[in-house]
Amino acid sequence: PTCLSSTVSPFSYCLLLSYLSHFSPICMSLLPGDVSGVPLVQLLLMLGDEELTRAPYNIDNQAHRRAVLAELERIKELGVKPPQNLWEYKAVNAGKSLFLLYALKSSPRLTILYLYLFDYSETFLPFLHTCCPALLRTSEPMEDSLPLNHQVHPSWRQWAEFLVKYLLLPYQLIAEFAWDWLSVHYWTSRFIIVNAMLLSVLEGCVLWRFYSRAEIRYRMWGHFWRMSSQGFAFALFWPVIPQFVCNCLFYWALYFNPIINIDLVVQQLMHPDTQGP
């Protein structure tokens, strides 16, 4: 949390070195080992494309230079070190992380639509690019490929893949997003993937029951109004909820909810006529 709240100006050499190492090994060539201090950080944030081709950087690949400049521009725009994992994101966006955790669990389609309408650049685009990454051109050498840029406009192939999954298997999008973070969050990602699989089974059972009873239209409107009222209530009461309570709710939904869903799936498969959640 201390590093995340640090502004760009007092960024230390070690802090910027750590951040750039998370982004890409390419960026490590920006930092000569015999120089340190705040002036270096300020110099890096003022670099242009031409300067990166000269010593001590010597980045000849244009694609690599674009990636480095885009990431340095992102640091300048945000004014802080961007979060690099779930816990850093939670430290910076406590309310938003709790909202997304419960909203994606209860209604992934409405939540993703909300992100598209109101949080497109910061959350929706990275989510789409992670779940449905752009295919690299076969003629592009692997070493010359750009690191994933989450701010580029998705291709029509990405949109087509995303919309099919969004309509038919929205929880698969969540599972694919968690799968991409396996190397960072080994066990947490597995909890999320298992929970997404269980929620997909539960949703299939519930939709089939509503369809067979011709209740699906009524239930869809009821679900929409219930999620809207819950979102409004969360925004209204979030500022007065103690942080300890929020943390308990967050970890409960993240680690204990999959255990509850296992029992619900067993009940649904053994007793299909049982009312679901």
Q: Is 223 helix (H, G, I), strand (E, B) or coil?
A: helix
Domain ranges of the chain: 13-78, 92-270
What is the per-residue pLDDT for 236? Answer: 84
pLDDT digit string, tens, across residues 103-158:
999 899 999 999 999 999 889 999 999 999 887 554 444 444 444 556 678 899 99
pLDDT tens digits, the chain, 277 residues: what are they? 444 444 444 444 455 555 555 544 445 444 444 444 444 455 566 667 777 677 666 677 777 677 777 766 766 665 555 677 889 888 888 889 999 999 999 899 999 999 999 999 889 999 999 999 887 554 444 444 444 556 678 899 999 999 999 999 999 999 999 999 998 899 999 999 999 999 999 988 887 777 666 666 666 667 777 788 888 888 888 888 898 999 999 999 999 999 999 999 988 888 766 555 4
Burial 11-43 (b: 16+ CB within 10 A, else e): bebeebbebbeebeebbeebbeeeeeeeebbee
Q: Is 94 helix (H, G, I), strand (E, B) or coil?
A: helix
Beta bridge partners of 30: none
Alpha carbons 85 and 67: distance in angstroms, whole number: 20
- Alpha-carbon distances of 137 from 70, 100, 149, 176, 180, rounded to whole Å: 21, 34, 15, 22, 21
